[in-house]
Structures are given as structure tokens and as C-alpha cells.
Structure 1
Amino acid sequence: MLLLAISPARPAAGGVTDLPGDLWDDVRHLPTRENAWWLAGGAATALLVSTFEDPEAVARTLNQPVIDELADFGNVWGDARVQAPLALATWGLGAWAGSEEAAGLGYDLTRSLALTYGAVSALKVTFNRERPNGEDYSFPSGHTASAFSTAGVVSRRYGGWAGGVAIGLGVLTGLGRMEDLKHYGSDVVAGATIGWIIGRNAGRPRGDADGLGLQLVPLGRGLAVAGRF
């Protein structure tokens, strides 16, 4: 008996010199039907939320025991000074320790955050929306985008409880930004959508440079042809 089994592959993490090319590859893979649906859903939700926004009321609601502390943690989690070093450290330490899994995760996170920060920065300058506290560059929420960028990568790579925890941290980040009157609800929804799409895209299985890499493996009373793509 001969069976053909093909499963998605995750190539070893790239090096610094591979980063520009892989970033461009990520950009090329963004236009998909799935991403179009995510974008349409996020845009529609942000537009709907914008019609009844009351940032002061939201902040008062969130400024409660326990909720306030969780929101404050989310505020810290989404900060670029946490997200970027965490991604780079995972990539670098994983490579140093010879862990392809850790290095690959860190590489995906690094690429995802780089594209997320670029997209968010461009949109902030374009819209220049005033924040609820009177400051500039409200739309979209960069903290929320970065937290959901990480959540997108983790969810795509691992799913399950790991993805759920990462998404939960993203939600806390969004709540923290609204509790601090840094963003409107629509800013948070837009940031979450952008980060999620870019993160899921960066965490996708990518093809091997060596092709399918077919090999025979024992399976019961026969052999299976296992390949990676």
C-alpha cells in the first residue's frame, strides 16, 4: 500500500539579509480572499462603532477594580517597547540556541510587526484624527495593532489555547487604550483588524526552497510518501 501525504512546511527562520525579500514576499501574499473578508468585516465594524462612540463613558465603565488592572496590563503589552524587543529576542535567542521553532516564531513576529508599524504609521499620518484626550494620530490604534499582529502569528502557527491567550491579550490592549482615553472604539477595531490580517499572513506556512521534499516513511503494512510544501 502506498499513500501520499503532503503537509504544510515551515522553513527555517531567515537571517537578517533575508528580511527585505521575505517582507516583500509577505506583502505579495496579503491580497487574498480571506484577508479581503477580514478587512471588509473590520471596516464595517469600525464604521458601525464610530456612529455611537462615547469615549468618556467607556473609560468610566472600564475604570473599575480588576478591569482597570487588566486594561493597564494590556496597555503595557501592546507597547512597541515590549512587542518589538520580544519578537527580536525570540528570533535571536532561538537562532543562538539552535531552536528552529523559536527562531521561526520570532522571525514571523518580527516581519509581522515591521509591516504592521509601517501600515499604522501611514494611516495615522493620513487621517490625523484627534484622540479623545486631545492628542494627535488617533486612528488606528498602534498598540492594538501590534498586539493583534502578535496574536495573528501565534494563532496561525499554533491555534488552540496559545492563539486564544494571544487574542485575549490583544483585547486587553484595546480596552487599555480606551480606558486611558487614548483611542476611540473605532480606532481599536481598525488596529485589531490591521494587525490580525498582517499577523496571520506572516505566520502562514511558506514553501520550501527545495520543492516538495518527498520522502518514504513506514505506515502500517505499507509506505507513505510524505512531502512538504
Structure 2
Amino acid sequence: MPSFTALASVEPSSQQAEDFLIRPDGAAGSSAGGPAATGDPRISAEFPPPTWRWRRSAIPDYLGVAVLGAGAIYVESAHGDPEPEWKGTNGLDESVRDLLRLHSRGAREVAHRVGDALMYGMIAAPVLDSFATLGIRDGAWDTLWQTQMVNLESFAFTSFVSSLLQNMVARERPFVRNCRSGDCEGDQPNRSMPSGHVAFAFTGAGLVCNHHRYQSLYHDPASDRAACWTGLGLAAADGVARIMADHHYASDVAAGAAIGLVSGFLLPRLLHYDHIDTPETRQRSGGAFIKGFSLRPLLSAGSAGVACDMRY
């Protein structure tokens, strides 16, 4: 299948090409069976340079992210302060609120800040985790680019869905019943369902679990599992903090967790990790003139560039 690639790079010498070989199964290794002759400790028979083996992001993915992002911005700007549509509660929500809600306003404000920190931390976790391992440690910039696109797709989906549902459901937050003369403990009083904080936190946790399961970012199964469970624990703690701060009911937290798990766990598998990228699958892809299009950064000592790959 013909291809067109535009890039700026330095070609390896023939000796370097002989020192590092790609085995027929697609894994990388050295001609000596141990570390490559370049002396790079990141490259070995046990831990070859990571390559992206799944479906690559293409034009539909970039467009999808743009549409979801624009949709979330529109919903927030045009409908970000809805009138209350749902003020009712249920026995479970009230029981959990009575159990977890902090009594002091100052303590609730601290819990609110803790919830913010946990949400932002879980948004950053899959981004920084993959950058530190795939990028800084391994220098696998193409694999890092694809991984970050998976992150962006999931977070864009979470942003749009959670924002849309919050404004459509327009559930009154629990702290509203304690407002006095317009003085409330938070803003956006009618956007309780679902919890956006928890949706983003569980999206980040799901992404961490997927990346470590499929790419083994830490090169150790126990450490990869620990990263996954730590992310899930922090996301769950965010949900508890939101109830303690009296910003959400338990059902809001459960709905946010469901959105995050779909976005962080299921979506990356449906779009990428369940589809191995091989020459055969590319040949079987539709009859369009352009079979695939992707962009990826090229970084090396003292130089940088962008590679454009088009298959037709």
C-alpha cells in the first residue's frame, strides 16, 4: 500500500541499523539479544522500545474531539446556569448526607478544596504518567502522542456528557437548603446531577488502568496494578469529599462515577485498544482514497519537528 510521509529527521547509519533489529512479530530487540549497541539502558530484549500497536488516531478522532469540546463550551456558555428542575431527594441520599456531611462550614470548604485537588490530580495523572514513562524514560514520542490522544478523547467525552446532563437534569444541590439571604456555600446551585468532579476523576482512573494494562508503563505487573487501584481509590475519595462538602448527593456521585468509567475504561478500548493495528487490517479498511492520516511530534537533541503520515 503506497504511503506519503513528510518529516524532518536524521537517518541512522548502517552500523546503527544493524545494531538494532525488529523481530518479525513486531517486537524490538538488539542483534546481540541484550541491550542495543547504542548503550541506551531503556532498550533491551526484556523491555523493547514501546510501539503503538493499536488503532491509531486519525481525522475522525481529531474532529470528534473538536466537536465535543465545542459542544461542551456551548453548553456551558449558553445553559450554564439553569433553573431548578428537580428538588426532590430520597431516603438513601438523605441517609448518606446525614452520615458524611461535615457540620462546620469551614470544614466543608476544606472538603471542597480537597475534592478540587483530587479531580485535577486525576485529570493530570494519565497525562503526566505517560509523559514520564513513554516520553522522558523511553523517548517513544509517537506512542506518547497516540496515548495522549486517547486521554484527550476521553476527557472531551466526559466534559460534554457531564455538562449536558447537569443542565438538562438541573438538580438542586444539597447546600441550597442552607443558603441564607442569598449567601450560599458554592456556585451553580442547580447542577448537582451528575457530579462533574467525580466523572473527571474516574475518567482519569480508567485511563490510568487502561494504559498500564495494555502498555505496562512501569514494566512490572504488580506496579501497574497498584497504579490502577490507586487511581480508583483517589477517584472514590473525591466522591466522598464532594458529599462531605455538601455539594452532591450520593446518587450524583454514582452517576458521575458511571460516566467516568464509561469514558475512561470503555471508550479507549472501543476506539483503540481492542483493535490491533497490522498491515492486514489496514489493507481491509474501506475503499476511500485516503486510508489514514496522522500527525506526531519528532523530538531529538537540539531539534524538533512534526511528522505527517498519509496512507492512500
Provide TM-score, normalisation by structure 2: 0.47
Q: Is the 8 A contact 1:149 1:199 kept in 2?
A: yes
Residue matched to 2:227: 162
2:241 and 2:226 map into 1 onto residues whose CA distance is 22
Residue 78 of structure 1 and its aligned partner are, at CA, apart by 1.0
Structure 1 residues 90 and 202, CA gap change in structure 2 (3 angstroms): farther
Is structure 2 residue 104 aligned with structure 1 residue 78?
no
Residue matched to 1:191: 256
Q: Is the 8 A contact 1:123 1:140 kept in 2?
A: yes
Residue 155 of structure 1 and its aligned partner are, at CA, apart by 1.6
Q: Is the 8 A contact 1:87 1:110 kept in 2?
A: no
Q: Is the 8 A contact 1:152 1:203 kept in 2?
A: no
* 1:149-207 deviation digits (Å, cap 9, x = unpaired): 11112222324111101101101110111111110000001100111011112332134
Aligned to 2:92, which of 36, 44, 52?
A: 52
Q: Is the 8 A contact 2:201 2:235 kept in 1?
A: yes
Q: Is the 8 A contact 1:177 1:183 kept in 2?
A: yes
Residue matched to 2:244: 179
Q: Is the 8 A contact 2:173 2:190 kept in 1?
A: yes
Is structure 2 residue 78 aligned with structure 1 residue 9?
no
1:100 and 1:114 map into 2 onto residues whose CA distance is 21
DSSP 3-state at the match of 1:60: coil
Comparing 154-163 with 142-151, which one deviates more in the overlay? 154-163
2:115 and 2:280 map into 1 onto residues whose CA distance is 42
Residue matched to 1:110: 152
Residue 130 of structure 1 and its aligned partner are, at CA, apart by 0.4
- Residue identity opposite 1:118 in structure 2: F
CA RMSD of aligned residues (A): 4.1
Structure 1 residues 201 and 23, CA gap change in structure 2 (3 angstroms): farther
Aligned to 2:207, which of 139, 153, 166?
A: 153
Residue 119 of structure 1 and its aligned partner are, at CA, apart by 0.5
- Larger RCO (alpha carbons 8 Å, 6+ apart): 1
2:164 and 2:279 map into 1 onto residues whose CA distance is 37
Residue matched to 2:193: 139
Aligned to 1:121, which of 155, 159, 163?
A: 163
Residue matched to 1:19: 62
2:191 and 2:261 map into 1 onto residues whose CA distance is 20
Structure 1 residues 20 and 86, CA gap change in structure 2 (3 angstroms): farther
* 1:87-144 deviation digits (Å, cap 9, x = unpaired): 6667888679543444333222211110011110111011100001111100000000
Higher-Rg member (1/2): 2
Q: Is the 8 A contact 1:70 1:172 kept in 2?
A: no
Q: Is the 8 A contact 2:154 2:203 kept in 1?
A: yes
1:56 and 1:177 map into 2 onto residues whose CA distance is 13
Equivalent residues, number = 178
Structure 1 residues 103 and 89, CA gap change in structure 2 (3 angstroms): farther
Query: Which runs of 5 or more residues in structure 2 are unaligned?
Result: 1-24, 27-51, 68-88, 177-188, 214-224, 283-312
- Residue identity opposite 2:93 in structure 1: E
2:262 and 2:192 map into 1 onto residues whose CA distance is 20
1:74 and 1:11 map into 2 onto residues whose CA distance is 35
